[in-house]
Structure formats: C-alpha cells, structure tokens
C-alpha cells in the first residue's frame, strides 16, 4: 500500500499532503503520528474535523512568499496541522480537547474559524490569534 492510501479511524493520510506533492518517508511517519493524536478527540467531538492544511513543501511556502520556517514544512519539526469543524462552540470544544494530545502549541483563530496545532517546543501550550499575532492564553 502506498502511504498516500493510509487510512486510520476518521482520517486519511492524503488529506495532509494537498500542499506537498512529494512527501518524504519521514513526512508520512509524522502524518501517521498526527492522525493517532486526532482520532480519540474526533471520537469525543462527535462530528467531522476537516484538515485545512497539513504538510506544505518548502517550495510551496516560498511560492506563497512565506519564510519556509513554518512547522507546516514537516522537516522543520514533527509537523503541524490546521483544523476546522462546524460551529464556533464545537471549535472551542476542539481547542480544549487538543490539550489531551501531544501537541505542544495550539492556537485558535476565532476570526478565521480554525485551529493550528504543532509540536514546536514551547513554554506555553495555548494561544489565540489577535490581528495575526499569537497571544498566550492563561489556563
């Protein structure tokens, strides 16, 4: 089986590589690890979680005039994911459920209705985006 066809529980690996046409073996392994984090909380949430952005190639980031240093470029770390789910209450619930996973940084964008999560070592875990800046959430 090609890694692209990997499916586990509620998620498919192919959902994570829309912006990364040629994922490396290590990227596929990071995607599997992220799927393992998401499955239990998807079950508790009780409704679909959409993967808006998973792995993004360095070339894609440069094309989009970004730095290439994003955690979405999976070789920069253990990977990152942008998540959406229907309804602001459910998005807030998902934000809190992510605390039970191994993600080390979780940021909610209430204005754009999505959550970014990654594994970058950080002193704090919860953030919220305010006018494009991340602000620490005291919890």
Contact between 105 and Zn ion (CB under 5 A)? Answer: no
What is the rounded distance in angstroms from the CA atom of residue 33 to the CA atom of residue 9? Answer: 13
CB neighbour list of residue 122: distance below 8 Å, 6 or more residues apart: 104, 105
Please, which residue, 28 or 127, has the CB nearer to Zn ion?
127
Return the ∠ at Cα 41 (arms to 8 and 28), rounded to 5°.
Answer: 40
Query: How many chain residues touch Zn ion (CB under 5 A)?
Result: 2
CB of 47 to Zn ion, least distance (A): 21
Question: Binding pattern to Zn ion, positions 114-133, x when CB under 5 A?
Answer: --x-----------------
Question: Binding pattern to Zn ion, positions 49-88, x when CB under 5 A?
Answer: ---------------------------------x------
State the pairing for strand pair 105-109/7-8: unpaired
**From 4-12, 16-24, 97-105, 112-120, span contacting Zn ion (CB under 5 A):** 112-120
* Alpha helices (H) in 1-139, listed in sequence order: 25-45, 58-63, 88-97
């Amino acid at each position: 089986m090609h890694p692209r066809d990997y499916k586990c529980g509620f998620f498919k690996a192919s959902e994570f590589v829309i912006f990364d046409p040629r994922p490396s073996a290590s990227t596929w392994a990071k995607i599997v690890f992220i799927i393992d984090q998401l499955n239990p909380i998807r079950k508790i949430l009780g409704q679909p979680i959409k993967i808006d952005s998973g792995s993004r190639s360095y070339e894609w980031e440069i094309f989009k005039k970004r730095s290439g240093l994003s955690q979405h470029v999976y070789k920069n770390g253990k990977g990152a994911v942008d998540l959406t789910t229907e309804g602001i209450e459910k998005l807030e619930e998902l934000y809190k459920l992510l605390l039970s996973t191994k993600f080390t940084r979780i940021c909610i964008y209430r204005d754009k209705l999505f959550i970014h999560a990654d594994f970058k070592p950080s002193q704090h875990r919860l953030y919220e985006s305010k006018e494009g800046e991340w602000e620490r959430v005291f919890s």
